[in-house]
Amino acid sequence: MTSGTRGLALGMMLMVAAVEPVAAQADSSKSFGPLFTHADALLAATVVIGTLLAQRTDDHYAARLQDSSTQANKKLQALATFVRTTAAPGALYIGTSMYAIGRITKEEHMAELGLHGTEALLVGELTGLVLKGFIGRQRPYVQPRNPHSYGFMRGFGGGDQYRSFPSGHSVAAFAAAAAVTSQTSEWWPSSRWVIGTAMYGGAALTGVSRMYNNRHWASDVVMGAGIGTFAGLKVVRFNSSHQGNKLDTWLLAGSLIPTDDGGHSVRWSLMPGVAIGAKPPSR
């Protein structure tokens, strides 16, 4: 790993170290208080300030990460590909698979984690897509390279090359990290720092990978991290403080119901009742 890449990775990890405690405070799901708190304003301010500071380094890191020696590093290429695909579309596949497996095996925690992680991902990604369209920022691979090239609404009609801000992969990675960390800390409070460090650290690497692949500026990644973190925290907080809400009731309530013919009916909200089993033997 080159010195420039190491410095960037360290910077992203420091950002994660700063955001995670703020995120934890902003969540405070157990209080069952209002959905939005003063701590959320602190988190938002941290992200905005971080984005503005990162803008000062956008062109610097875009040039450093495209250095021929950095790009020729096979290990960096493999790592970038792995974390990128794990974040998107991997996070969606992982979340929906956890939900399905949890429902089938009646592992409520797994189903809930998969469902809420997927919800956070969708909320964050939708927000990111709308911002991409309105802000219309030029991607770093477009020549001449210009981190200050914005165009209102340009992202909707100008093509993917003008949908740089924020980083969608960073949104996905941090949404999953925030949702998983927040949800599991409700069940196992002592796990926050272990799970949080692993999840947010992986999310930070995802952001760096998008810069390494010349798809995003540093400030795109910071804002994507903030949006994803906020989405993950709010989804978990909402579901924790609104037990029995319609969506959770619809998607998480299910069971095997005995039928008159001796079989069972699967009462699953995503599908109509389906008879399974066999009729009892004739007497």
- Determine the Cα–Cα distance for residues 112 and 248; give it in Å rounded to an integer: 8
pLDDT at 75 over 60: yes
Give 195-222 as a DSSP string.
Answer: HHHHHHHHHHHHHHHHHHTTS--HHHHH
Domain spans, the chain: 3-129+166-252, 255-283
Per-residue model confidence as pLDDT tens digits over 81-135:
999 999 989 999 999 999 999 989 989 899 999 999 999 999 999 999 999 999 9
Percent of the chain with pLDDT over 90: 59
Average per-residue pLDDT for the chain = 82
Task: Work out the average pLDDT over 170-179.
Answer: 95
Q: Compute the C-alpha angle 84/132/160, nearest 5°.
A: 65
Amino acid at 101: I
Tokens standing for residue 123? 């909320």
Per-residue model confidence as pLDDT tens digits over 146-163:
999 999 999 999 899 999
Neighbours of 14 (CB within 10 A): 11
Q: Is the Cβ–Cβ distance between 197 and 233 less than 8 Å?
A: no
pLDDT band at 36 (very low <50, low <70, confident <90, very high): confident
What is the enclosing helix (H) or strand (E) of 276?
Answer: strand 271-276
Task: Work out the average pLDDT over 209-218.
Answer: 96
